[in-house]
């Protein structure tokens, strides 16, 4: 056996996942059947209580895991079998680092956390940034194909402070997106609620008119502020997006709902052929969504603000050059006014 009972803390960036998926990410060789058996016997518990495979975990909950046979227990957090290439890759992503926090510029195409068919992800390589201290912790997430700023905490205290900043909206995020078409209004607020519903391409977030919420009790409030920075005639537009709330796929679903899907969004946008017809075949079909800027109170309690910008990934740089969009325009302070209290 690999030791006794383990009690694993759910990190903030892991919140919202199904328990069975979280367990498979932590213990890749566990089968779904084995997980179901442990749950039926009450061997896996959340904060001391019984759980189901579809239970949603929350930040800082403690998950009890029974002793597992050799080969099923994960290696220590600082030893994930990282290669020299993995270590170099992670260190090259660092935009800011101090004793309390790290901020990365995540490239598109690599997930923040593991899942079905995902063996290489940011969370699995965080040991490369541990140095002589604790393994960094995720405090929020961005989609696999979204690029840009990702904040990490270097201690439990910093994780609690940063998680609180994101939850209270003290942390401010700004995204850049290239979209098909141009919104009718140059600035605006999108307030459709979001509900996960089945569709022909699998489950996806569906926009629900706030007036219809009584008929959709599972829908969650979602608000996005946007501003058009530049446009290429009526074919495409560069938008600054501020997620006032932080729902799964919020920006992608909201832009699709107002008729301006994000270029390269195969889940919420048009087909590749239709996108090429409406925009241009010279544009990459990768997702054009980038976490450009983040301003967050430093977790040391000093009151200072860490305000960072992440350069665009190469495929988005090419699109900006193709449309002759001037990047400096997107950093104007008054582009999106502060949200109303």
Q: Which residues are tagged catalytic?
A: 143
Cβ-contact 335, 230 below 8 angstroms: no
For tokens 């850049």, name the residue: 176
Backbone angles phi, psi at 306, to 5 degrees: -90, 115
The 8-class DSSP code of residue 115 comes to B
Packing angle between helix 19-26 and helix 32-40, nearest 10 degrees? 120
Q: CB–CB of 205/195 below 8 Å?
A: yes
Q: Over the range 82-113, which residues count as b (16 or more CB within 10 Å of their CB) and which as e?
A: beeebeebbeebeeebeebbbbbbbebebbbb
Count CB atoms within 10 A of the CB of residue 340.
Answer: 6
DSSP letters of 3-55?
-S-EEEEPPGGGTT-BHHHHHHHHSTT--HHHHHHHHHTT-SEETTEE--TTP
């Amino acid at each position: 056996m690999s030791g006794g009972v383990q009690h694993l803390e759910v990190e903030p960036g892991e919140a919202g996942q199904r328990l069975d998926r979280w367990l498979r990410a932590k213990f890749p060789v566990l089968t779904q059947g084995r997980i179901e058996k442990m749950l039926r016997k009450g061997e896996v518990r959340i904060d001391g209580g019984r759980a189901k495979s579809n239970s949603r975990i929350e930040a800082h909950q403690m998950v009890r895991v029974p002793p597992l046979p050799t080969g099923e227990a994960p290696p220590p957090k600082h030893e994930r079998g990282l290669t020299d290439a993995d270590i170099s890759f992670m260190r090259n992503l660092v935009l800011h680092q101090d004793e309390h926090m790290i901020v990365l510029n995540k490239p598109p195409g690599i997930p923040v956390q593991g899942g079905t068919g995902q063996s290489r992800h940011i969370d699995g390589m965080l040991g490369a940034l541990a140095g002589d201290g604790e393994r960094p912790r995720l405090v929020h997430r961005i989609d696999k194909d979204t690029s840009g700023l990702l904040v990490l905490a270097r201690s439990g205290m910093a994780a609690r402070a940063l998680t609180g900043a994101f939850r209270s909206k003290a942390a401010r995020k700004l995204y850049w997106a290239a979209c098909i078409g141009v919104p009718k209004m140059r600035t605006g607020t999108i307030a459709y609620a979001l509900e996960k519903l089945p569709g022909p391409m699998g489950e996806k977030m569906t926009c629900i008119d706030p007036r219809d919420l009584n008929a959709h009790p599972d829908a969650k409030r979602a608000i996005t502020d946007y501003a058009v920075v530049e446009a290429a005639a009526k074919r495409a537009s560069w938008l600054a997006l501020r997620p006032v709330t932080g729902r799964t796929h919020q920006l992608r679903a909201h832009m699709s709902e107002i008729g301006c899907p994000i270029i390269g969004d195969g889940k919420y946008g048009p087909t590749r052929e239709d996108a090429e017809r409406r925009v241009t075949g010279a544009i990459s079909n990768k997702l054009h969504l980038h976490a450009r800027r983040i301003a967050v109170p430093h977790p040391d309690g000093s009151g200072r603000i860490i305000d960072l910008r992440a350069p665009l990934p190469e495929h988005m740089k090419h699109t900006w050059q193709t449309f002759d969009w001037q990047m400096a325009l997107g950093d104007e302070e008054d582009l999106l006014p502060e949200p109303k209290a």
